[in-house]
Chain A
Amino acid sequence: EVQLVESGGGLVQPGGSLRLSCAASGFTFSDHYMDWFRQAPGKGLEWVARSRNRASSYTTEYAASVKGRFIISRDDSKNSLYLQMNSLKTEDTAVYFCGRGNMATRYFDNWGQGTLVTVSS
């Protein structure tokens, strides 16, 4: 069974940093693109960042709203995806989800349950 479990959320002050993790199991992690998404309270879904697989040289993409502040990375030996979030702003407050891109279609066929990040003084 495919499982994605996020962790690392919490309360942080504006300007602070936080590192989110997504632990994967039940599939060959290294074969898949992996992405981060977020959802502000009461709002819609927003794509945050993508990490391509080894076959695609682990290249990355970012939403303009986080580029230069967030860094997506992965450790295939640990079946884990990460999101290093720096210079956090109040508008980064959201539930953060990791999602697996299907190998064939690239659409997001499995998601974690999310971890809440609150940026507030």
Chain B
Amino acid sequence: DIQLTQSPSFLSASVGDRVTFTCRASQGIGIYLAWYQQKLGKAPKLLIYAASTLQSGVPSRFSGSGSGTEFTLTISSLQPEDFATYYCQHLSSYPITFGQGTRLEIK
């Protein structure tokens, strides 16, 4: 199984900050990676797919990059509604797996 390791596990930041999350895969997955945002008690929301493609309707302050084993999600200027947990997920092979998540909180 492909393991996805996200870092950091927890991040405290302020509105307007630029933040970057990392997702590392245990083996190469090309660009078969997505990022999701999940707020407490809600379903996940697709933000980025194919490593760097912005999902329709997602604000342009979100961006993704990477390929192979290392990927990043960047939020260029944090807004109050961005405080949530972020998960990476791969679609390279079965089983589909998620990272353990990065919880983003307001400083």
Contacts and interface: CB of A to CB of B under 8 A. Distances in A.
Interface of A: 35, 44-47, 50, 61, 63-64, 97, 102, 105-109, 111-114
Contact of B43 (A35, A61, A107, A113): A113
A112 B43 contact: yes
B14 to A, nearest CB: 25
Given A45-B89, A107-B34, A111-B44, A63 B95 contact: yes
B43 A45 contact: no
A45 B50 CA distance: 19
Interface residues of B, number: 23
Interface stretch (B16-24, B74-82, B96-104): B96-104
Which residue, B34, B89, B95, has most C-beta atoms of chain A within 10 A?
B95
B95 A44 contact: no
Given A47-B97, A105-B49, A108-B89, 16 more contacts: A35-B96, A44-B98, A44-B101, A45-B44, A61-B94, A63-B95, A105-B50, A107-B49, A107-B50, A107-B91, A108-B34, A108-B36, A108-B44, A108-B46, A109-B46, A113-B43
18 contacts: A35-B96, A44-B100, A44-B101, A46-B98, A47-B96, A47-B97, A50-B96, A61-B95, A97-B44, A105-B49, A106-B91, A107-B34, A107-B49, A107-B50, A107-B91, A108-B46, A109-B55, A113-B42
A45 B97 CA distance: 8
Counting from the closest, the 3 A-B pairs by CB-CB distance are: A111-B43, A107-B49, A47-B96
Contacts of B83: none
Contacts of B62: none
